[in-house]
Amino acid sequence: MTHDAIVVAAGPAGLAAAITMAQAGLRVLLLEKAAVTGGTANRGMGPLGIESRHTRARLLPPTRDEAFKAYMDFTHWRVDARLVREFLNRSGETIHWLESLGVEFVEPATYFTGSFQTWHLVKPEQGPPGPGGAATMMRVLTRRAVELGVELRLQTPVNALIREGGRVVGVHAVDAQGAPIDARAAAVVLATGGFGDSPEMVREHAGFELGRDMHPFRTPGVRGDGLRMAWAVGAARTEMLMELVYGMPDNLSVPMPLHEACRQPHLMVNLLGERFIDESVMPNVTFTGNAIAQQKQRCAFLIFDADILAAMARDFDFRNRVFPVTRIDDADALIDRFVATGYRHFFVADTLADLAAQTGIEAAALSATVAQYNADCARGYDTLFNKPQHYLRPLRRPRFFAARHFPSAYGSAGGLRINHRAEVLDDAWRAIEGLYAAGTDACSIYGDSYPFLFPGTSMGFALNTGRIAGEQIASRHKEATA
Ligand SMILES: Cc1cc2nc3c(=O)[nH]c(=O)nc-3n(C[C@H](O)[C@H](O)[C@H](O)COP(=O)(O)OP(=O)(O)OC[C@H]3O[C@@H](n4cnc5c(N)ncnc54)[C@H](O)[C@@H]3O)c2cc1C
C-alpha cells in the first residue's frame, strides 16, 4: 500500500491529523486497532478553547497571553513553553475548525469554581451535554474524514514502524482478518492514546498498581503501543504520569446522587485516622488525587453522619457539569439498596468504632480526630486547615457513613518527546525524519499534575497536536511535490 501519510489510531489526535492532511489533498491511511473510532474521547464532554468565538462573545477570560502565563506558572516552566504556546494559541481557532466540520458546541463551561471557562462542551445528538457527549464529535469527525477520502481501516492494530536509512517510511500492521500488512508513506503520525490500559506500563512508568492503589478509567487497547514502537526506532522518553484524579472504584456503579454525596466537603481522613486535606479543595479532583496518593495505602475515607446526610437532601455544596445532581433524595433507602449490592467501598455503621473496624481506620485516632473536628465546628474555625466555616458540620448522629476513595485517572500522559512541530525527537534532540506524534502519547505538558485550571486541556491537546502534525506533513509534502 502506498499513501502520502499514515496515521496510527483514530482518537481525537489521529482524526484531527488525518482530516487536516486530507483537506490539504494528501492520500491518508488511518489505521485503528478498535472496532470503532473515537478512542477515549468517546467518554468525554469536550475540548479546551482559548479566545474562541464563544468565549470572546461572552468576554470570558483568559486571553491567550493570560492563559500562557497562568499555564506556565502552574507548571513552573518544567514543560516545553513553545509547545504550550502553540497549543493554547491555536486552540480557539481549532474550535472554529471543528465547527466548520459540523461539530456543535454549547456555552463554554468551567469544571469547578475558580477554574477557567475553557471547556467547550460538545452538543450531543440528543439531550444535554454530559459524559460521552464528545462521542458525537468523534462520529462527525469520522464521517468527515471518510468523505474527504481518508482510507480508514478498523480492527487493524499497528505493531511496528518501518525505518530505512534513518527515516520512518511506514508501518507493519495486522488487518481485521489477521493478515499482516506493510504500509508505506513519507510520514507517520502516532496517536495511540498512551498506556493507561497497560498494568505493566502503569506500574513501571507511573508507579501505580491498577486495581490496588489506582482505579482509572481504562480505555481498552490503549496499551502503550505507540510509545514502544517509537522507542524501538530511537525516540526519546519523557516523564510519564497518570492524568490523576480521585474516586471510588468502579464509580459509575455508584448511584449518581450517592456518588456526589461522597464528594462533598465533609471530613476526610486516611487510614491513620488523620485529616490530610482542606476538604474545600476537593472539586479540584487532581489536587485531591495527589493528596490521596501521598497517604498510607493510597486511600482515604470521606465520612458523614445522619445529620449531614439530611442536609444533603436539601442541597449539595459542590455541583459540577459531569454529574448534574444537586441533592440526594430518599437517601437511607438508596444507601440500603446500594449496600445490598455488595459494593466494597461504601460503609455504614451505628458507631464510629464500628466504622473504624469495617474500614481499617485506626479507631482511637479517628475518635480523637472527630472530637477535634466537632470542637472546631462548634467554634467555627478549622484549626488544622482553615476550611471555610460554612463547610464545618459536626459528626454526631448515627448512622455514620464512609466512602473509600483512591487515586483514579483519565489515562496516562507522556512518553514521547515532540517539539512544537509535533516531530518526534531522539535522544540527541534531533527530529526523527518522517515520524510525528500527537495527543496522549506525546502529552508531556502537564508538569507534575493535570492542569484542571484549564478544563478540556487533554482533548484540546490531542486535537491541536493532531492538527499541528497534519499541517507539518502537508507543508513538507507540498515542498516535495512542488
Ligand atoms: C471518562 C473520561 C472523560 C474525559 N473527558 C474529557 C473532557 O471532557 N475533556 C478533555 O479534554 N479530556 C477528557 N478526557 C481525556 C480525553 O478523552 C483524552 O485525553 C483524549 O481522548 C486523548 O486523545 P488521543 O487521540 O491521544 O487518544 P485516545 O482518545 O485514547 O485514542 C487512542 C486510540 O488509539 C487506538 N490504538 C491504540 N493502540 C493502537 C495501535 N497499535 N494501532 C492502532 N490504533 C491503536 C485506540 O484504540 C484508540 O482509538 C476524558 C477521559 C475519560 C476517560
Mutate which of 154, 192, 223 for ligand 1 pocket (most atoms within 8 A of beta carbon): 192
Q: How sure is the predictor about 1, in pLDDT bands with cuts at 50, 70 and 90?
A: low
In angstroms, the CA 429 to CA 419 distance is 9
Domains 5-240+414-481 and 244-408 share a fold: no
Integer Rg of the chain from CA:
24
**End-to-end C-alpha distance for the chain, whole angstroms:** 23
Pocket lining for ligand 1, CB < 6 angstroms? 8-14, 31-34, 39-41, 43-47, 157-158, 191-193, 217, 219, 221-222, 225, 410-411, 439-440, 456-460, 462
Q: Supply the pLDDT for residue 218.
A: 94
For 43-122, where are the E strands, in sequence order?
105-109, 119-122
* Helix (H) or strand (E) segment spanning residue 401: strand 400-413
* Contact predicate 399/306, CB 8 Å: yes
DSSP code per residue over 336-397: HHHHTTT-TTEEEESSHHHHHHHHT--HHHHHHHHHHHHHHHHHT--TTT---GGG-----S
Query: What is the mean pLDDT of the segment spanning 318-333?
Result: 92
Please count the CA atoms within 13 angstroms of the CA of 218 that sit on its side-chain side.
Answer: 15
Residue 438 CA to ligand 1 centre (angstroms) = 11
| Paired strand residues for 402 | 303, 347
pTM score > 0.85 for this model?
yes
Q: Supply the pLDDT for residue 321.
A: 85
**31, pLDDT greater than 70:** yes
- From the CA of 410, give the closest atom in ligand 1: 53
Atom 50 (ligand 1): residue with closest C-alpha?
Answer: 44
83 three-class SS: helix
Residue 299 CA to ligand 1 centre (angstroms) = 26
Q: Which three cell numbers stand for residue 414?
A: 507522556
Residue 112 CA to ligand 1 centre (angstroms) = 22
Residue 429 CA to ligand 1 centre (angstroms) = 27
Instruction: List pLDDT tens digits, range 227-248.
Output: 999 999 999 999 999 999 999 9
Instruction: List pLDDT tens digits, range 273-301.
Output: 999 999 999 999 999 999 999 999 999 99
Atom 9 (ligand 1): residue with closest C-alpha?
Answer: 456
* Helix (H) or strand (E) segment spanning residue 248: none
Residue 8 CA to ligand 1 centre (angstroms) = 13
Instruction: For domain 5-240+414-481, give its CATH number from 3.50.50.60, 3.40.50.300, 3.90.25.10, 3.30.465.10.
Output: 3.50.50.60
DSSP code per residue over 251-319: GGGS-HHHHHHTTSSSEEE-TTS-B-S-GGGTTSHHHHHHHHHTSGGG-EEEEEEHHHHHHHTT--S--
Residue 241 CA to ligand 1 centre (angstroms) = 15
Phi, psi of 87 (to 5 degrees): -60, -50
Could you tell me which CATH class the domain 244-408 is placed in? alpha beta
Residue 440 CA to ligand 1 centre (angstroms) = 7
Please count the CA atoms within 13 angstroms of the CA of 21 that sit on its side-chain side.
Answer: 32
Tell me which residue has cell 462548634.
378
Q: Supply the pLDDT for residue 322.
A: 87
Domain segments of the chain as ranges: 5-240+414-481, 244-408
For residue 122, give Cα distances in angstroms to 13, 54, 89, 106, 131: 16, 13, 20, 6, 10
Average pLDDT for the chain: 97
Query: What is the mean pLDDT of the segment spanning 122-138?
Result: 95
Q: Report CA 482 to chain centroid distance, whole Å.
A: 41
Tell me which residue has cell 483512591.
406
Instruction: List pLDDT tens digits, range 162-192.
Output: 999 999 999 999 999 999 999 999 999 999 9
Atom 52 (ligand 1): residue with closest C-alpha?
Answer: 410
214-228, 320-334, 452-466: the lowest-pLDDT one = 320-334
Query: What 8-state DSSP symbol labels residue 113?
Result: B
- From the CA of 157, give the closest atom in ligand 1: 42
Give residue 204's identity as a one-letter amino acid code.
E
Atom 13 (ligand 1): residue with closest C-alpha?
Answer: 44
Residue 309 CA to ligand 1 centre (angstroms) = 36
Atom 1 (ligand 1): residue with closest C-alpha?
Answer: 43
Tell me which residue has cell 482510507.
151
Atom 5 (ligand 1): residue with closest C-alpha?
Answer: 44
Instruction: List pLDDT tens digits, range 362-406.
Output: 999 999 999 999 999 999 999 999 999 999 999 999 999 999 999
Query: What is the mean pLDDT of the segment spanning 89-95?
Result: 98
In angstroms, the CA 390 to CA 403 distance is 22
